Chains A and B, each alone.
Chain A
Amino acid sequence: MPALPFPAETPLTWYLVLSAILFALGVAGFLFRRNIITVFISIELMLNAVNLSFVSFSYKLKQNDGHIFSFFVMVVAAAEAAVGLAIILTVFKNRQTLEIDEVSSLKD
């Protein structure tokens, strides 16, 4: 049987690299996009990047801890999405804007 052009079993590193790329995309989106919704999505992206690495480790190490962690993260993300969207809605109602730099009164 000829050697496959890729390993028979996907190495852990690949998953981790993918996770890092996703996380970096999330960070970049958070830092450089100005729409609050996009920023919010970027946060979700980061969370799921972390989830991916949890699951990968869990699979590789044959332990369940990572799976459990990822469930926790999902729960927290859901709760955060609920609160966050509520805040975004309120901000929009009050200011008629979704421009994140318009919302800077926290410094006061």
Chain B
Amino acid sequence: MLLWLIPLFPLAGFGLNGLFGRRLSKAAINAIAVGSVLLSFLWVVKTLSALGIFNGGLLEPYREHYYTWIQSGAFNISVDFAIDRLTAVWLGIITGVGLLIHIYAVGYMAHEGGYYRFFSYMNLFMFFMLVLVLGANFLLMFVGWEGVGLCSYLLIGFYFLEKFATDAGNKAFIVNRIGDFGFALAIFLIGVHFGTLDFDRVFAAVKAMPVETQAGWITAAGLLLLVGATGKSAQIPLYVWLPDAMAGPTPVSALIHAATMVTAGVYMVARSAQIYLHSALALDVVAVIGIATAFFSATIGLAQNDIKKVFAYSTVSQLGYMFVGLGVGAFSAGVFHVMTHAFFKALLFLGAGSVIHALSGEQDLQKMGGLARKVPITCITLFCAGVAIAGIPPFSGFFSKDAILAAAYERAPWIYWVGVLTAGLTAFYVFRALFLCFFGDYRGKPPEHHGSHDHGHGHGGIHESPAVMLIPLVILAALSLGGGFINVPKFLEPMFGEPHEGEPWLMYVSVAAGAAGILFAALFYLVSPALADAFVRVFRGPYRWVYNKYFVDELYDVTVVSPVVDGSRQVLWRVGDVRIVDGAVNGVGAVARATGSLLRLAQSGYIRNYAAWVVAGSILAIVFMEWRGGLR
């Protein structure tokens, strides 16, 4: 079935563009970058249909063995790719949405420097992401996991001349290191405890063990895996990197930081469902972290003014939703939300990118307004995404959110209620952003004054984006509206069991919350904008907290970053490096030099001197032999 071809195409694209892109024309770079993803997508479609995915096949995982990577006694790691229904969902999202975003990027990045560099990184990302989901053991997954982290870092810092971009890249990379450390520990633990890292064998072994009522090995493994997931999927407490990651170009935000990479944590937890099902504690922690993140970041999203920041916090919040789905045992609902979220959040970002493109780099919502007539198609598609994320039936977000909330109510009603509240907030801040952007009066400077902003699309006037950007928007809008009818929970039934059927009133309440959110947004930002200002004045204290993101960055700065930096500087650098490491190295040199200068005295160059040494030596030898009694 040649599964290895799926990641190979983007890798080849990366190689070609990375090595020769500087000398290729833009058309050639486009053809390589988009073509490789297209081939990969077609190969996925062909493979999946050959496996009978469109007519109820693929009940058992399909697996290909390539070669043995590490063999050490009984422990062996092989490079195997496997497809089961869970992987199939991700393959579809990665290559499908990835393809649309690549096409969009052709238009969006048209005026940017480093064009080939951008597309080679994007292709490399696709490769690693596909390896991540195709790998059939934890180590191969880890390879993909680290690879996507690297590409994320490279692309966040794409505008590397800007300090904030490189800082954001470093932040993402370093925060992810913390999570990856947990993941690595989990892999060690699993390897030591089960003697293998192969998914099939580990999960079979776990399945044979009793459910842990008290914390034990499985709980430890589950929690450590979760540390990795919180890093990659931006959950509390490691979510801080994702909002900053918006420093990268918008297609990157859409592809990596909304649709695919950040859902890797969800994939990992869903993949390890067997581990979590055997540890009630670990599963509960997943749910609590998820709901806390969902609510917490939704409140931050209420007060952000940068359009991409709003959607970034929204992403964090929606990822929290997915973790709630996983944590209440409704794995298929969580995965369902991954898919619908990939549609509408990619669309939100791409639409935001289209607006930013139209305004020649402006991202501040306070300087937008009244754009509905200027960029009508972007406006319509963004509202499609808006109703989808707000959970209005029968659009895609409604189905997945409802599945999660129904399962949450069954497990713990309080999670359901917080989830409903979050759904209301979500609808509110998304529509706040959309209303501020598209309705009312234009509040920005006249577009002729676009000057030297970093995005610097150097062509004047507010203008609708080119077709190459609009077509992906329209396709994603169609998917956002209709994607809910792809019944992912039903599709995943062979893996995760039958989905929960909630009571109807649960659904009514959550839909009502979403609708209320939209209505409040309309009231505050369309009907009477003064009301919003009055609201802010009355609740100045809480508003200040929310506006400044609860000062979490500052808190981390004081508690973690500063001690680490100061400790590194004062102790590790000034003492550890300068005194001990350099001291040791210089000391060795000094000792050698001193010895040499002493020995040098023996090399006078006077022959008689040397002869004297020889005589003295022979005398010594004779005396020694005499003393040992050797002469007789």
Measuring CB to CB, which residues of chain A are less than 8 angstroms from any residue of chain B?
27, 30-32, 34, 39, 100-101, 103-108
List of A residues within 8 angstroms of B611 by Cβ: 27, 30-31
Q: Once the chains are docked, how many angstroms separate the CA of A105 from the CA of B603?
A: 11
For the complex, give the distance between the alpha carbons of A100 and B604 in Å. 13
A27 in complex: contacting residue of B603, B605, B607, B615, CB < 8 Å: B615
Q: Mark B596-617, 1 if CB is under 8 A from A, else 0.
A: 0000000111111001100100
Contact between B615 and A101, CB atoms less than 8 A apart: no
CA of A93 to CA of B487, assembled, Å: 105
- Give chain A nearest CB distance to B304 CB in angstroms: 76
What B residues does A34 contact at CB under 8 A?
A: 608
Interfacial chain B residues near A32, Cβ < 8 Å? 608
- Please list the 10 inter-chain residue pairs (A to B) with the smallest Cβ-Cβ separation, ordered nearest first: A107-B605, A104-B605, A107-B603, A104-B606, A30-B611, A106-B605, A101-B606, A31-B608, A100-B607, A31-B611
Which of B604, B605, B615 makes the CB contact (< 8 A) with A31? B615
For A108, the closest partner residue in chain B by CB is B605
| Binary contact readout B394-408 vs A (1 if CB under 8 angstroms, 0 otherwise) | 000000000000000
User: Are B607 and A103 in contact, CB atoms less than 8 angstroms apart?
Assistant: yes
* Residues in chain B near residue A39, CB distance under 8 A: 607-608
State A44–B368 Cα separation when bound (angstroms): 107
Residue of B nearest to A103 (CB): B607
Q: Which residue of the partner chain, among B605, B608, B612, B615, contacts A105 with CB atoms under 8 Å?
A: B605
CB distance from B514 to the nearest CB of A (A): 91
CA distance in complex: A32, B609 (Å): 10
- Residues of chain B touching chain A, judged by Cβ–Cβ distance below 8 Å, are 603-608, 611-612, 615
A100 touches B608 (CB 8 A): yes
Q: How far is the CA of A101 from the CA of B611 in the complex (A)?
A: 13
For A105, the chain B residues whose CB sits under 8 A away are: 605
Residues in chain A near residue B604, CB distance under 8 A: 104, 107
Q: How far is the CA of A101 from the CA of B148 in the complex (A)?
A: 74
Q: A31-B611, A100-B608, A101-B606 are in contact. List 15 more A-B contacts (CB 8 A).
A: A27-B611, A31-B608, A32-B608, A39-B607, A39-B608, A103-B607, A104-B604, A104-B606, A104-B607, A106-B605, A106-B607, A107-B603, A107-B604, A107-B605, A108-B605
Task: Check if B612 sits within 8 Å of A31, measured CB to CB.
Answer: yes
Distance from B621 Cβ to chain A, minimum over Cβ atoms (Å): 15
Hey, which chain A residues are within 8 Å of B605, CB to CB?
A: 104-108
A-B contact pairs, 6 of them (CB 8 A): A27-B611, A31-B615, A39-B608, A101-B608, A104-B605, A106-B605
Tell whether, in the assembled complex, residue A30 and residue B603 are in contact, meaning their CB atoms are under 8 Å apart.
no
In whole angstroms, what is the CA distance A34 to B607 when docked?
A: 10
Tell me the bound Cα distance from A100 to B607 in angstroms: 7
* Residues of chain B lying within 8 A (CB to CB) of residue A101: 606, 608
Q: Using Cβ atoms and an 8 Å threshold, which residues of chain A touch B615?
A: 27, 31
**Distance, CA A103 to CA B608, complexed state (A):** 11
Cβ of A108: which chain B residues have Cβ within 8 Å of it?
605
What's the Cα separation between A103 and B605 when bound, in Å? 8
Closest residue on chain A to residue B603 by CB atoms: A107
B221 to chain A, nearest CB (A): 69
Shortest Cβ distance from residue A19 to the other chain B in the assembled complex, whole angstroms = 15
**In the complex, what residue of chain A is closest to B618 when comparing beta carbons?**
A27
Q: In the bound complex, what is the Cα–Cα distance between A34 and B604 (angstroms)?
A: 16
Minimum CB–CB distance for A95 against chain B, Å:
14
| A36: nearest chain-B partner, CB-CB | B607
Complex CA distance for A103 and B303, rounded to whole angstroms: 91
**CA of A39 to CA of B607, assembled, Å:** 10
**A32 and B607 alpha carbons, distance in the complex (Å):** 11
On chain B, the residues within 8 Å of A106 by CB distance are 605, 607
The docked-state distance in angstroms from the alpha carbon of A32 to that of B603 is 19
What distance in Å separates the Cβ of A30 from its nearest Cβ neighbour in chain B? 5
In the complex, chain A residues whose CB is within 8 Å of the CB of B606: 100-101, 104
Closest Cβ of chain B to A35, distance in Å, is: 12
Question: Nearest-CB distance from B219 to chain A (Å)?
Answer: 74
Centre residue among A32, A34, A106, A108 by max chain B CB count within 10 A: A106
A46 to chain B, nearest CB (A): 11
Chain A residues with Cβ under 8 A from B603's Cβ? 107
Taking the nearest CB of chain B, how far is it from the CB of A99, in angstroms? 11
Residues of the B chain whose Cβ atoms lie less than 8 Å from the Cβ of A107: 603-605
Nearest CB to that of B602 among chain A residues? A107
Could you say which of B608, B611, B612 has the most chain A C-beta atoms within 10 Å of its C-beta?
A: B608
Give bound CA distance, A34 to B609, whole Å: 12
Tell me, in angstroms, the Cα distance from A34 to B606 when the chains sit together.
11
Q: How far is the CA of A30 from the CA of B608 in the complex (A)?
A: 7
Which residues of the partner chain B approach A103 to less than 8 Å between Cβ atoms?
Answer: 607
Measured between beta carbons, the chain A residues less than 8 angstroms from B607 are: 39, 100, 103-104, 106
CA of A37 to CA of B603 in the docked complex: distance in angstroms?
23
CB contacts (< 8 Å) of A104 on chain B: these are 604-607
Give the docked Cα–Cα distance between A104 and B607 (Å).
7
| Nearest residue, chain B, Cβ from A107 | B605
Nearest chain A CB to B487's CB is how many angstroms away? Answer: 90
